[in-house]
Amino acid sequence: DTYLNPNYSFDNFIEGDCNRLARSAGFAVAQRPGLTSFNPLMMYGGVGLGKTHLVQAIGNYIMNHFENKLVLYVSSEKFTNQFINSIKNNTLQDFTDFYMKVDVLAIDDVQFLSGKEKTQDTFFHIFNHLHQLGKQIIMTSDRPPRELQGLQDRLLSRFKWGLTADLQTPDFETRIAIIQKKIQSEGISIDYDVIEYIAHSVNSNVRELEGVIVSLMAQASLTRREIDVELAKNTLRNIVMNVDKEVTIDTIQEVIADFFQVTIADLKSKSRKKEVVYPRQLAMFLAKEYTDLPLKSIGYHFGGRDHSTVIHSIQSINLLMDETPDVEETLQKLRSYFK
Ligand code: ADP
Ligand code: MG
């Protein structure tokens, strides 16, 4: 039993800026296990960002492409429990023999080994044995090695022998792609409006994103309703923290930046480029609408502009609204992210 879940693959792992390094290092390792300089490969990142998915994708890929390679995936918790049992049952030798004969060892969530000295000692020996033989070791952790308190220095220094790659919170485009992939795999279709709405409202991690889609499908089937923005709003209100939260100037800047694909620094900059000026003016307009901040303070949050600039921005948007119907539509869309 390799403990691998065949549902995790590279094919269904969406690549984005947030995970590109980890994914490509993982793929390199999967193609040439033990032969790259990425040994060990250490991938770290917060909960729900795809560590387990990626490490299992590597394992599955190797299983499917190298018939004679023995791949073992194990969580650090399970490793620890097996170790403790082997002590109890006087089978420590069997335990270490078992691990020392694998070709690929993937060990998930090594932060769990923290403070467990005896387990670490044994892991250290297994690690050295495998590494010396050129076997591939892959590890994940919820934080970078330097922050792994309670882990022995000799282990930590070995973790750094290979490559350390992080997984970050998915950016807006990656969230869109993940939602699309997920609903496609569920065999349903949802309007792009709704997808965009979800991607804007749920920005913590992929697991939460998946949870929202599952709830949404359940809601839709229970109420026999179509999945539209209204239903999404109702569903999200019950599960996601972002919804119904007080709208702050930071939230507004984040939403605007996401929406127009500019950076928050752009919004605060002196740039007079059209691609930046319009989003900035809209952001000030919405800041006036949603917050109680005085104009002076709004200006301050946009790179230290004064209150007359804020007034001018609001007027510009009002004027634009009279001229172009798109502006009102855009505003409606943006407002939907705040309620
Ligand atoms: P972690 O181990 O970092 O806590 P997981 O690997 O368990 O996170 O990921 C949580 C869920 O999100 C899983 O269902 C996984 O398939 C999915 N997931 C995470 N990242 C991606 C991605 N880049 N593309 C597709 N699905 C992803
Ligand atoms: Mg995990």
Which of residues 214, 239, 264 is at a domain's end?
Answer: 239
Out of 27, 53, 112, 210, mutate this one to test ligand 1's pocket (max ligand atoms within 8 Å of CB): namely 53
> Do 209 and 49 meet the contact criterion of CB atoms below 8 Å apart?
no
Q: Which of 53-67, 93-107, 284-298 has the lowest mean pLDDT?
A: 284-298
Q: Which residue has the higher pLDDT, 219 or 28?
A: 28
Residue-level pLDDT at 1: 45
Ramachandran region, residue 303 (left: φ > 0; alpha: ψ -120 to 50; beta: rest): left
State yes or no: pLDDT of 243 exceeds 60.
no
| Residue 50 among known ligand-binding residues | yes
The last residue of one of the domains, among 180, 211, 239, is 239
Residue 31 shares a structural domain with residue 156: yes
**Residue 2 predicted with pLDDT over 60:** no
Q: What integer is the mean pLDDT of 177-201?
A: 91
Q: Which one of 166, 189, 220 terminates a domain?
A: 166
Q: Are residues 161 and 180 in the same domain?
A: no
Q: Which CATH number belongs to the domain containing residue 154 in this structure?
A: 3.40.50.300
Q: Which residue has the tokens 């500019």?
A: 262
Least trusted range by pLDDT, from 186-190, 241-245, 287-291: 241-245
Q: What is the ipTM of this complex?
A: 0.99
Q: Do 161 and 26 lie in a common domain?
A: yes
Residue 18, ligand 1, Cβ within 6 A: no
Rg (CA), the chain: 25
In terms of domains, do 125 and 85 share one? Answer: yes
Which of residues 270 and 241 earns the better pLDDT score?
270
| Domain-located, residue 244 | no
- Which protein residue's CA is at the shortest distance from atom 11 of ligand 1? 207
Q: Which domain holds residue 144?
A: 20-166
Give the CATH number for residue 202: 1.10.8.60
10 Å Cβ neighbour count for 127? Answer: 23
Same domain, 161 and 182: no
pTM of the model: 0.76
> Does any domain span residue 8?
no
- Contact, 230 vs 210, CB < 8 A? no
287, 158: one domain: no
Whether the CB of 182 sits within 6 Å of ligand 1: no
Pairing of strands 104-108, 71-75: parallel
**Atom 6 in ligand 1: which residue has the minimum CA distance?**
50
